Amino acid sequence: MTKDLIRAKLKHMDTISLSISQLKANPAKAIAQADDYPVAIASRNKVKAYLVGGSLFEKIIEFLEDREDRKAIKYALAHREKARPLEEVVKELGL
């Protein structure tokens, strides 16, 4: 997924916006709201930060790991002629 596509998806997410004062007044509520969608934290109507809940953070990390795996697979397929049998690598590493 390209950066532009990710940005477009984020723009269409149901993002909740809170002021810093609202965050300070009830941080537990803000954290609960951030479980599935990012919560924009604003100061003077300008977003200064995003609060991301644990489950959403884990989904983001999983997405990024999957993306890296796809890139590695794509690279490996493109450089297949340089590949060596697993047994040879294991023996070389002494495993």
Q: Single out the residue of 46, 48, 51 nearest to residue 30, CA to CA.
A: 51
Confidence of residue 1 (pLDDT cuts 50, 70, 90): low
41-80: per-residue pLDDT in tens?
999 989 999 999 998 899 999 999 999 999 999 988 888 7
Confidence of residue 15 (pLDDT cuts 50, 70, 90): confident
The tokens describing 95, both together, are 């495993």
Q: How far apart are CA 19 and CA 36, in angstroms?
A: 19
Higher local confidence (pLDDT), 79 or 2: 79
Question: What domains sit in the chain, N to C, each tagged with a CATH number?
Answer: 3-93 (3.40.1620.10)
pLDDT, position 81:
74
Q: How far apart are CA 11 and CA 5, in angstroms?
A: 10
Q: Single out the residue of 52, 44, 54 nearest to residue 19, CA to CA.
A: 44
Residue type, 55: S
The tokens describing 57, both together, are 């953070």
